[in-house]
Amino acid sequence: MKLLVEFSHPAQVHKFKHVLKSLMDKEYQVLILARKKDVMIELLEYFNLPYICISRAGMNRMSMAFELILREVRTLWQALRFKPDCMLSAHSVAITHIGWLLGIPRVVHDDTEHASLQQRLYMPFATHIVTSSAYSKNWGNRQVRINSIEPLAYLHPDHFSPDPTVLLRYGLDMEIPYAVVRFIAWQAAHDIGYKVDSKEERGNLIDKVLDAGAEKVVLSCEGFDYRINQQRVIKVCPEDFHHVLAFSRLCISEGGSVANESAVLGIPTVLVNPQQAGLFNELERYGLLVHALTMDEAIDKGLKLWNDSFAIERCKQARKRILNEKVNMAKALTEFLINFLENKC
């Protein structure tokens, strides 16, 4: 069996890496169509996943439209060449169109309810739509809900065990109080129209966290360069990020993916993002995430968590609860895909 996969965001590499490796171990042939965005290619290389880079992420509406056309053409060529039995995407457009055109079954994994523009483009063409149990939209009979959440596809204890020795590479250890801050470029299609905080506002957040007692801030960012206090503001390699995140005392993130990851790891987390999603609400319900609409609100809520001596213990207990109540997303998705490939294709 052959599976053609489309990735549009680096987080999707993590979400599907164990799924795809399990399929490859069972001698399924897998090919990933990727785009150059943030650390996407570095992650694919690190995890030794078979890919072809077919585009670079657009930076505005015009370049996004051009990229989509380019991806459609190149996806068609790769599909004709690879001859897949099934196509898989994570809220990506081109592969559903080409799969429909060629009569190849299309499985879409969706976790971003507010990506309404993309959904109008790909949902009508999906054969099956796989979501977590936290996902708030209903797509009818085509929807398959898994009693899990996306970060448990790669941060479930079956797959991930934080390694404290990784910290030594960055002058950190488990006794050093540090925070993780994530800034995004706000250039995804579902981000259009939202206010981007200034460099000064973002720098102020970092300064406030340092002033509150963080010895270092681990900064993950797109399109933002913070040059003050370089000895105290550091960056880490993409493959080490989750190990470093797992031992932090606080995470403040504009991006949903990092906020979700931090929360699932049991780290006190503030998501500073006006958009809503079922997963955000689910993590808030468990007490693993705090939502902020503005940078000032994020600073206020972040510092309260930093100064709360019981916050980490509460989050660790909440993590145990969610692990008891949710299944391993990667295992469940692998089982679904194998059943679909062998019985539907």
Write the CATH number for 122: 3.40.50.2000
Domain containing 186 equals 164-325
**What pLDDT, on a 0 to 100 scale, did the predictor assign at position 226?**
62
Number of folded domains that form the chain: 2
Same domain (yes/no): 282, 338: no
pLDDT digits (tens, 9 = 90+) for 305-323: 999 999 999 999 999 999 9
**What pLDDT, on a 0 to 100 scale, did the predictor assign at position 115?**
78
Distance (Å, whole) CA 279 – CA 289: 10
Same domain (yes/no): 193, 257: yes
Same domain (yes/no): 129, 189: no
Find all residues with CB under 8 Å of 193, minimum gap 6, and list them: none
Residue 103 has pLDDT above 90, yes or no: yes
- Two structure tokens written together for 223: 């399109």
The more confident residue out of 43 and 228 is 43
Same domain (yes/no): 239, 147: no
240-243 long-range contacts, CB within 8 A, separation 24+? 240/166, 240/169, 240/170, 242/155, 242/160, 242/162, 243/162, 243/163, 243/164, 243/166, 243/167
Same domain (yes/no): 321, 332: no
CB 255 within 8 A of CB 269: no
Residue 117 has pLDDT above 90, yes or no: no
pLDDT digits (tens, 9 = 90+) for 262-302: 999 999 999 998 888 899 999 999 999 999 999 999 999 99
Of 237, 333, 279, 343, which Cα lies nearest the Cα of 149? 279
**What pLDDT, on a 0 to 100 scale, did the predictor assign at position 190?**
45
**What pLDDT, on a 0 to 100 scale, did the predictor assign at position 199?**
76
Same domain (yes/no): 54, 104: yes
Same domain (yes/no): 109, 249: no
Same domain (yes/no): 172, 240: yes
**What pLDDT, on a 0 to 100 scale, did the predictor assign at position 191?**
46
- Residue 177 backbone dihedrals phi, psi, to 5 degrees: -75, 120
Cβ burial, residue 342 (10 Å; 0-12/13-18/19+): exposed
**What pLDDT, on a 0 to 100 scale, did the predictor assign at position 275?**
81
Cα 12 → chain centroid:
6
Mean pLDDT computed over 198-223: 88
Mean pLDDT computed over 53-57: 88
Same domain (yes/no): 136, 181: no
- Two structure tokens written together for 17: 């890496």
CB 218 within 8 A of CB 180: yes
Calculate the average pLDDT of the chain: 90
Same domain (yes/no): 170, 150: no
Share of the chain above pLDDT 90, in %: 71
Share of the chain above pLDDT 70, in %: 93
Residue 227 has pLDDT above 90, yes or no: no
Distance (Å, whole) CA 281 – CA 287: 10
pLDDT digits (tens, 9 = 90+) for 1-43: 999 999 988 889 999 999 999 999 999 999 999 988 888 999 9
Same domain (yes/no): 183, 219: yes
CA atoms within 13 A on the CB side of 317: 6
195 — pLDDT class (breaks 50, 70, 90): low
Residue 230 has pLDDT above 70, yes or no: no
Mean pLDDT computed over 162-175: 94
- pTM for the predicted model, two decimal places: 0.89
Distance (Å, whole) CA 255 – CA 283: 15
Same domain (yes/no): 129, 218: no
Mean pLDDT computed over 201-229: 83
